Each structure stands twice: as structure tokens, then as C-alpha cells.
Structure 1
């Protein structure tokens, strides 16, 4: 009985108090629930250790209409045998914008195809990369990717092996990732030494 009363008082304070402390506790509880319950459950359901990815750079953005973007990329794609007709059928053919969240589903490496947007972990790098598959080499067991806005490829995306694959992007949620980006950038500003 007494525990129930303490819990009710705490719950009432958490939801109805306007104190700074109640806001801080609410924020911490929300973070813990998302990080240790929601995120792992979503990962389990989607079969990916990274079920949600915030787009942190402009490497997948299309800064113009599809026609203008394709005109700028056409030469690179032609070199590897990708036609405009193929590109027109791709998922996320208008790219992914900084601040978007991509929902990532686990996918068997052998089922990856040109045009898929995948998440992979480069060797010896902390952060995963989300880029579009531009080559599948089944015989040699690798795939290659390229950021939609990039001219050319990064060295780490030329031969991606099965163990590096985290999953495939299946859904885009626009703008919501800006919350994380703003928090991370704010923390970085605080950490940097201030000088004259």
C-alpha cells in the first residue's frame, strides 16, 4: 500500500510539477525507455542492430529536381551500367535529407540489389554509413555503394562484405532526426574549448 502511494506521488510530481527537476527526470526517463526498451524491441522486430538511423550528412541529398540531380550524376552511373530507367524505379529516388530518420530492416546479403539504400559499418570506423548500392558482385561476394550527392565513391564503400551489412532502408521519416543532431551539435559546442 505504501509503495503504491509513493509511486502515485512520484507519478503525479513527474507529470504535474513544473519544476526544473521534474523536467530533467522526465527527460532522463524518456531517454532510458527509448534507449533500453523501445530501440532494442524495434531492432528485434526488424532484425537489425541499427533499426533507426539519423541522416547526419548531405551525402544522400538531392539538392535539385530529379532531372537536374540525374543530369549531374548520369556520367558516373553510365560508367557502371546504371540507366535512368533503373534509377526511376529505385526506392528513395529523391534521396534522403540531413535530419531524416531511416527505418532499417535486416536483409540477407544475397538479396541486396542495385538501387537499395543500405546501412553498413566500414572496417575500423565507429559510425555506420547509409548509401545506395551501385554494384553487386555475387561471384566475389561484395557490394559497392555511393552517396547520391557524392561525385565518386569513398574507398570504404567499394567492397562491402556480408559481415559489414546492417540492413536496408525501408521507410523515411522526415525532419525528426534534427532533434538528435541539434543535441549532439550542442554538446560538441559545449565540449570545445572557448578561445579568443
Structure 2
């Protein structure tokens, strides 16, 4: 292809992608964005972050914290009603106040995930891991122990808004871990996807969150 032919091709491509308001232009733009996101953006982001799941949509209310009532902050209000739970887990209020994402997160939030080595995971970190559920689970680490036979770490997690552990949360192996949550990237934006699957959930799992 000559330089002139390439310039003409590029001009037509650019016009069709950004300036053509016809149905053909819209269809081309949608297809282009899909291909770019699926085959370029996400693979690139996965390579940079070191995890196959660099962005995660929160699909449940298990990490929800209800907002505080003045003069208490959201965190103060929440920790006051959960002190006993964490005391029984040997986690003090002072320890929890230093945990990353101590205010939890809401259903529909999009979280930024990075890969993490098992030896760098601490109690209080929020990890995303493969579980016997449809999608991976993202909960807070509440305990870590070492298998004396393999010398590998075994993790226990629990959702901040859950009243106990799920059956599979007490024996999470190193090879189940997909990454660690770093911060909330886009509050509620995940609802754009979740709204299409709400009807398939049980009645108690549908809709917005309440504190348990």
C-alpha cells in the first residue's frame, strides 16, 4: 500500500469511526469499540496489573457499609455496630481503622484489582478469589494460617456486611487468588450491567443494599 493510499484509507476510517452519523457509522463504532476493549484494552490492563481480572463489578451487598448519622461518620457508625463481630475474630477497632477500604463498597461499584503474591497478603486486605460460585468472590481477609505440610498459606475471608463466613471461606488456597482490591474506581457504574441480571437473582439478593 502506497503512502497516499494509506492516507486515504485512514481518512475514511477516521470519518466512519467518529464523524459518520449514519447507521453504518454507529454500527462500525460499536464494533470497533468492542474489539478494542476486548482484544487490546483488557489484555493490556491485565498485563500491567498482573491479574486476569483487573476490573471487578461488585455484584452483592456483602461488603456494604451504611452511611453514618450525624455527628458520627459512616465508618464510626458502622464500626460501633460491628465491634463484637470483629472482637470475636481477634480484630480490634484500631486494627480495622487502618485497613484499606475500611468503609467497604456498594453493589454496582467497579473496583481496581492488581495481582498480589500470597506472602504479601495481610489480614484486612480485600482479595478476589475463585470460589464454587458463578463468579469470583471479593471479601476481606480475616485470618491467615500456614499449612504445615506444604508450607503454603491458607486464607479465611468474610464479607463486612455478612453475619458469618460462607461455607468455602475458611480454606482459600493460594492458587484460588486472582488479586487484591486497591480502590473503588467507579461507584455504581456497574449497575449498567447488573440491571440485566437482577431478575435471575433470589428476591433477597435483588435491588439496593441494606446493612445487616
TM-score range, shorter chain: 0.7 to 0.9
Q: Which residue of 2 aligns with 1:152?
A: 164
- Can you give the 5+ residue segments of structure 2 that lack an aligned partner in the other structure? 68-73, 200-212
TM-score scaled by structure 2? 0.79
Q: Which residue of 1 aligns with 2:111?
A: 102
> Cα deviations across residues 66-111 of structure 1 (Å, max 9, x unaligned)?
1221133222211110000000000101111222221111111122
* Partners of 1:118 and 1:132 within 8 A in 2: yes
Q: After superposition, where does 1:15-26 map in structure 2 within 5 Å?
A: 15-26=18-29
The alpha-carbon deviation at position 115 of structure 1 amounts to: 0.3
Q: Distance in 1 between matches of 2:125 and 2:138?
A: 10
* Partners of 1:55 and 1:177 within 8 A in 2: no
TM-score scaled by structure 1? 0.85
Q: Which residue of 1 aligns with 2:92?
A: 83
The alpha-carbon deviation at position 139 of structure 1 amounts to: 4.0
Q: Distance in 1 between matches of 2:145 and 2:197?
A: 41
* Partners of 2:107 and 2:188 within 8 A in 1: no
1:30–1:150 distance in 2 versus 1, CA, 3 Å: same
Q: Which residue of 1 aligns with 2:183?
A: 171
Q: Which residue of 2 aligns with 1:125?
A: 133
Kindly tell me the number of residue pairs found equivalent between the two proteins: 186
Q: Which residue of 1 aligns with 2:210?
A: none
Farther-moved stretch of structure 1 (133-142 vs 50-59): 133-142
The alpha-carbon deviation at position 131 of structure 1 amounts to: 0.7
Q: Distance in 1 between matches of 2:35 and 2:197?
A: 18
Q: Distance in 1 between matches of 2:114 and 2:35?
A: 23
- Can you give the 5+ residue segments of structure 1 that lack an aligned partner in the other structure? 190-196
